[in-house]
Structure 1
Amino acid sequence: MKLLFVADPLEGFKTYKDSTFAMMREAARRGHRIVACETRQLVWLRGGRVTARAAREIELTGDAHDWFRVVATGDLALAECDAVLMRKDPPFDSEFFYATHLLSQAEREGARVFNRPASLREHPEKLAILEFPQFIAPTLVTRDPAEIRAFHAEQQDIILKPLDGMGGMGIFRVKADGLNLGSIVETLNKDGTQTVMVQRFIPAIAEGDKRILVIGGKPVPWCLARIPQGSEVRGNLAAGGKGVARELTARDREIAEALGPVLAARGLLLVGLDVIGDNVTEINVTSPTCFQEITDQSGFDVAAMFVDALEAALQGARS
């Protein structure tokens, strides 16, 4: 099969931890052809099809630094690929949004895109949890400072975060004393022009912010608990958290088995659920990670499970 990965520049991959690289490596091991492009290379012209300009077909070298070599370069209509994997990292900005519309057009032309572009648009990673209130902590979404102050007065200890952040960027904790609440709200909501998410602080963050991967509607049996270090409140690996692989708890499975089939039915082949204690805090659908960390520590081959699910989805479409 020919697989097109729409991703960030290959030259910037950290192959020792990159999940897209793990997907490529497993797919190549099975004999699939690997092609890559960036979102900026997607083009549509009336009378034609959505095309990746100067897409690069690559082979993996096995070298940790010069990890790929280009074997062919050329324009490639997305509908000519067996599958298109959208793996562009956040932020979900306007250009990401426009890219999903081009990918939706490619679907109309016959391309198979994972995750489905319409579902990427419909599941913003912070706000997607609102559909599942039974699994989340007390949560407020607003750009009204008075609403935030009232929520803090009720909950006492809160987390505030922007809707478009990633890697723990822009997350603040405000305790019962309310210290700096006004300044933090001004920073995040920009004088009432931007919406903010506010949640009750969950003390179980000390045990880790768990990334639970769901592939084809089924949970990977191991998660990666990202544990805050020192005085840091954020467990994100990008914010210095320590990643520890753990087997799923009964509650983890309950959450994953409830949400997984619903999200898979919408064309979300790969989902990353962020869970603190018993609560879902985010539903990641753009480019969920932690494949290699889980595999390295647990021995469970996440990339193999993913490519199995991808092959099954493509086989199902043909039959």
Structure 2
Amino acid sequence: MQKLFTVFSILILMLAVSTSSIAQTIFTEDFESGSAHPDWEAFFPNEEIVTAVSMATPPDSLASGGDYVGWLQDLDTSYTGVAVSINGETSLYDYSVEADVYCYVNHPDGSAYTGVVVYADSSIGTYIKMAADFDPVPYPRIRLYNNHFDLGTFTYTFEHSFTESDIPGGIPTENGWHNLKIEVRTINADITAFWCYWDGVELLGCPVTDTSSHRMSSGQFGLFSFSQGTGEGIPGYYDNLVVESLISSVEDNSNGTLPEEFALEQNYPNPFNPSTQISYKISTGNHVSLAIHDLLGREIKTLVSGFQSAGNYSVTWNGKDELGNTVPSGVYLYSLHSGGFVISKKMMLMK
């Protein structure tokens, strides 16, 4: 029964994604300034952070690149050849990460994987990566897995392998640049789902779901490099990184699942400065939450949190956060939660 429920949940999610998702770019990185974005940080303490290097540094240049690329490597092998750089907030959820990544095929010095990272949180020691693992042993594949290795079963607590038959065009035979993309969505309290893409084409077997004990429901995005046997890690090269929010908006929800009298109006005025009014309607009494987030998923201000009877409501936001500080100009999301339903819309503060 649980398996049937899970499959049904995924089917519903797939339908919702096709009708309701809005891709909103929240981060880009092409290293063309000659340096990496200052918000990059190391997942492991005192480890390397992605940096910009000349396009002449990788073994092959990227045709769609510029003068610089990102470089990441565990030079001192203090983490057994693993290097992970992360960015964004740990509260970020439902997003995609896409990047051009230099991939190694059957590296002569040992295992050599590169890829992208989602739902990372260094405070609890967990991250999930999509990595090109083209070693001949046990077999070449694209892997989606976390970093929790179970010595009892000799497997990761969450892992999925896309084999040659799952990869359009098959396994590459030479080192080179490829486009990797992963979409991650938190379905409910028990399931996180992933869609993986290779050179712009979805891999067979998606979505892949994680229901393990180490399942993540939110987290930072990032880059991954790993080498075992080379003595100093492997240089990972990355370019054209794009992170997009996949949060749905009610004006694009056409599947009729929202109750008729559950509504969130567009704020007015919009754009606004310094304050705006948000109106909403609930059909039955319930606990109601109305909160504002920035595009990285960080909560800015909770406007409503508590039980409310059925009716029409209106609240004003003065453009300030929980500490009373005025927030900068930009696009913000406001989300209404009530009785298991969620509606989100966008608004713009313009000074």
Query: Could you tell me the TM-score, scaled by structure 1's length?
Result: 0.26
Query: Could you tell me the TM-score, scaled by structure 2's length?
Result: 0.24
| Bigger proportion of residues as strand | 2
Larger Rg: 2
| Bigger proportion of residues as helix | 1
